[in-house]
Structure formats: structure tokens, C-alpha cells
Amino acid sequence: MTKKQRLLLIKEGLERTYPDADCSLRYTDPWQLLVSAILATQCTDKRVNMVTPALFERYKTVYDFALADEKELQGYIRSTGFFNHKAKNIIASANRICSVYNGIVPDTIDELTTLAGVGRKIANLIIGDIFKKPAIVVDTHAKRLSFRMGLTKNTDPTKIEMDLLKIIEPEYSSKFCHQLVELGREFCTARSPKCDICPVKEGCKKVL
């Protein structure tokens, strides 16, 4: 079975089980998604969503974040962990967006990854969910599942991203990643995957 044939069976299972999969972070504009994604580093989306309503009420625009007092900002995001580093990155990113991009979140991987705290994972989330361009978000779920399923032999996130971009239809790439998150949480867990009842077992190399 080729990777594309395998992917077709996996996609059928994912679409059947998670037809409405989407980003679980709550946001109303590109900047808010960027902030939420930075906060979600080594933190759950659920926790981030508990923090951001008050945060975005206090700082309503990217310009507000650029002028934020670092200590005050830390207070709003403390429960997400690594709050000192995250506050510094958020303020630095806001300043760069305001000074270089006229307050508008850029729409390319190369530009996004010049922002403090933004690597390819976050950049791809923005590219895919905001700008609707082909994008593969290689988080812990995508890394674990794509290897188990036989869609890649690599463990390096960038190499995994390139492997998946070769076989996944551009218009499906972002949704595929959100579906993997759902599958990874419910069935294909790190320690005890439920392979016998997994909805994508027909295409999974681990099962076959």
C-alpha cells in the first residue's frame, strides 16, 4: 500500500468521525490566534481558552500588547506556564508587527517565523487557519500519529511537514491536522492507543 493509498483510507475514517474538526483555540482575529498559540506552548488549549477572555479584554489590539507592561501581562497569563518568557515574546512580536507590518499579522512562513516565540508549528497554524493556504501543523499529535500510521519515516518536525505536504491535498491539509489532534486525544493516545476501535485502523501501518 502506498502512502497516498494509506492516506485515502485514513482520511475516510477521519472525515467520518471528525467532519467538523477545527482549531480548539478561541480567537476573533489573526493576532489573537497568534497570542493564543504562543500561550499554548507546553500548555493545554483548554487552559489557554480560560485565560484569553480577560487578556483580550485588557489588551484589545496588537498596539495595546506592544505597549503592555511586562509584569502586568505576566499576571494575566501566569497559569499557562513559562509566563515570563511568553510575556516577553508576545510583547516583542507585537512591537515587530506594529513597526514592520503596520499592525497586520504577516501571511508567509518566512515572515511569521521572524516573530519572537513563533516557529514553524505556530506559523503553519496561522497560514492554514487564517490565510487558508496549504499548511501542516506538526504538533505532538501529528508527529506521533503520522509516524505510527506510516505516512512518514521521519521524526524531525520539518521533515514530517514536508513529507505530509507531498501526499495531502492542499485544501485538506489544515483540517487533517485538526482531525489528528482529535484522533490523538480520543483513540491514538501516546501510551495506550485504542487500535482495535480506531476509526482509521484500515489505513494504519501500526494496525496492519
Tell me the per-residue pLDDT of 177-208, one tens digit each, with 9 for 90 and over: 999 999 999 999 999 999 999 999 999 998 77
Contact yes or no for 32/52 (Cβ under 8 A)? yes
pLDDT score for 206? 85
pLDDT score for 208? 72
User: In percent, how much of the chain has pLDDT > 70?
Assistant: 100
- Mean local confidence (pLDDT), 107-120: 98
d(CA 199, CA 56): 38
pLDDT score for 150? 95
d(CA 101, CA 37): 19
pLDDT-derived band at 49, boundaries 50, 70, 90: very high
Answer whether residue 30 shows pLDDT above 80.
yes
**CA angle 7-8-9, nearest 5°?**
90
Answer whether residue 139 shows pLDDT above 90.
yes
pLDDT score for 90? 98
- Of residues 165, 174, 124, the one with CA closest to residue 21: 174
Average per-residue pLDDT in the chain?
96
- Mean local confidence (pLDDT), 155-180: 96
d(CA 123, CA 108): 8
Measured over the CA atoms of residue 135, residue 119, residue 29 and residue 76, the dihedral's sign is: positive
Q: State the pTM of this model.
A: 0.94
Answer whether residue 17 shows pLDDT above 80.
yes
pLDDT score for 92? 98
- Mean local confidence (pLDDT), 42-61: 97
Cα separation values, 129 from 49, 62, 198, Å:
17, 19, 26
pLDDT-derived band at 50, boundaries 50, 70, 90: very high
